[in-house]
A and B are shown apart, each in its own frame.
Chain A
């Protein structure tokens, strides 16, 4: 195997093949990524915690098992980063909040158990907006992650750390979670791939819940096949999650490999009228149109579909999410784990300790959303707000159902803009919320979505192309996504990330 730089730029699939062939050991691969993190993460700040010792021990165990001739999982030995909202036994998990600073969970999330069983060394935990509330990582209590394409710009959010880690070659794979776009929008603005699976495809056991009816964990990667391989590891039924889909899923890696031939004959691709046009930057629209042309050239039939209720999705989301969050985050009360703060004066009753703890431990955006949710659920407003939002959810599901009568997959730009500079939207919550306008409908309806890069905008920054499929049809994302990836790669000649500026490497 060549030097470290080659190792870092391999896809997870190619690294797995090199490991299987004995060309490189997992300890070497893991060490290379830990070194890369040491070299660039002062600038990128994708990681909140790096677990060098444990990652190298896991890698060593995989190498030993391989030497002993044991049958290993195909991804065994490929290192991975995990978003800090997913609990890891014995490794600090903060969800980007001061509320959980230094908290060491006593258990693993199901998806972490599956990563460990498959032998993927966990490099560390990635930065995020506090409790996954945000679209820029600017709401992390530990400072923002910087976009590897331009360190003055946001990496998306909430999973900006996972996307940036993958884009900066600090990890070949990462885990994200997506409640309204937190996997897909960061993928879009960092030139990487991210998938929000069908709701229930990946267990939520051990995810620190934001909005339980919307949350879904999924893969972050540099290629469609890598995302599929990771989805295959973490997906599948889990009796510890009552919303986990009971039926067996097909191999997504198989779907991606099939799609990579690039033939899309007879595939109906629906362009969603409401997820484009006004409000989307011209450079984003141009990149989207170019990708559509590539799909057409590969035999796909492009049809225009209308989903009129999507225009109400953002409003419904910003009632449903805060309502569920206000309930889920009630558990942070300073009693059993996490921060406890005593009130400055007066008696330290349980109620006053709770209020002081939550006042000190939650950041601005978390307070904003908890109070908004408390309002939406309070007596006199429930029917007008939460009840109405739930009805909109029904209409959005009906729109999806009608659209999928006309098309096999739906497409749109993933986000209306490319990565914006830090601070640009921090003082305007509504402008920040608009980042997720194209990704939110999938969460409300439970359908799967993928973002993959479609090229660069006129500002030289990456643009994301969103694919949506019917519930339980995640395989279509991988088939069509891999096809589009092949077509675009043929055109570009090299992966889009090869056009990102080299990060300064520090000794």
Chain B
């Protein structure tokens, strides 16, 4: 099993879009390494013939009638936006290049 060092924590934090301080990276590397070593035993429990369970009580083909219904109140939603403009969410620039 691999170990989790600071570089790995930084890689994962970037994937998860979470800014971490240097102190957080160092602490998480230590903690996660211990946790991962502890949970790694799962790969030794079940043989290849055991199927995976993704859901405790499987239900399939769950549909309801496709009919128009009440929707949420636009004002109630927009009032909670960090920033709104003309009844729309105002977001930062979505492309990486210089504005």
Contacts and interface: CB of A to CB of B under 8 A. Distances in A.
Nearest 4 CB-CB pairings of A with B = A446-B56, A359-B19, A340-B82, A390-B52
Given A315-B39, A315-B41, A367-B18, 16 more contacts: A103-B80, A106-B72, A242-B62, A337-B80, A337-B81, A340-B82, A340-B83, A347-B98, A348-B92, A359-B19, A370-B18, A372-B36, A375-B8, A378-B15, A385-B39, A443-B56
Given A199-B56, A318-B39, A395 B17 contact: no
B59 A200 contact: yes
8 contacts: A239-B64, A315-B38, A335-B89, A338-B82, A352-B92, A368-B31, A387-B52, A395-B46
Nearest to A398: B50
Given A337-B81, A372-B32, A397-B53, A316 B17 contact: no
B73 A106 contact: yes
B76 interface: yes
Contact of A385 (B13, B43, B73): B43
A101 B72 CA distance: 21
A233 to B, nearest CB: 22
B85 interface: no
A307 B58 CA distance: 22
Interface in A302-328: 309, 312, 314-316, 318-319, 326
A296 interface: no
Interface residues of A, number: 78
B68 interface: no
Interface residues of B, number: 58
Interface in B4-37: 4, 8-9, 12-20, 24, 28, 31-32, 34-36
A444 B18 contact: no
Contacts of B39: 314-316, 318-319, 385, 389
Given A337-B80, A368-B32, A349 B94 contact: yes
B77 to A, nearest CB: 5
A198 B98 CA distance: 52
Interface string A380-400: 010011011111111101000
Interface string B70-90: 001100110111110000010
A243 B57 contact: yes
- Point out which of A354, A391, A429 has the most chain B C-beta atoms below 10 A from its C-beta: A391
Contact of B93 (A246, A349, A393, A429): A349
Nearest to A336: B89
Contact of A347 (B43, B46, B64, B93): B93
A270 interface: no
Contact of A392 (B2, B24, B42): B42
Nearest to A335: B91
B82 A367 contact: no
Nearest to A340: B82
B18 A355 contact: yes
Contacts of A330: 17
A390 B53 contact: yes
A249 interface: no
Contacts of A471: 56-57
A355 B17 contact: yes
B34 A430 contact: yes
A107 B42 contact: no
A267 interface: no
A340 B90 CA distance: 11
Given A370-B18, A375-B32, A375-B36, A348 B93 contact: yes
A120 B92 CA distance: 42
B27 to A, nearest CB: 8
Contact of A355 (B12, B19, B36, B98): B19
A384 B43 contact: yes
B82 A106 contact: no
B52 A107 contact: no
A309 B91 CA distance: 48
Contacts of A502: none
A367 B24 contact: yes
Nearest to A393: B53
B42 A446 contact: no
Contact of B50 (A326, A368, A391): A391
A286 interface: no
A243 B59 contact: yes
A358 interface: yes
- Point out which of A214, A390, A397 has the most chain B C-beta atoms below 10 A from its C-beta: A390
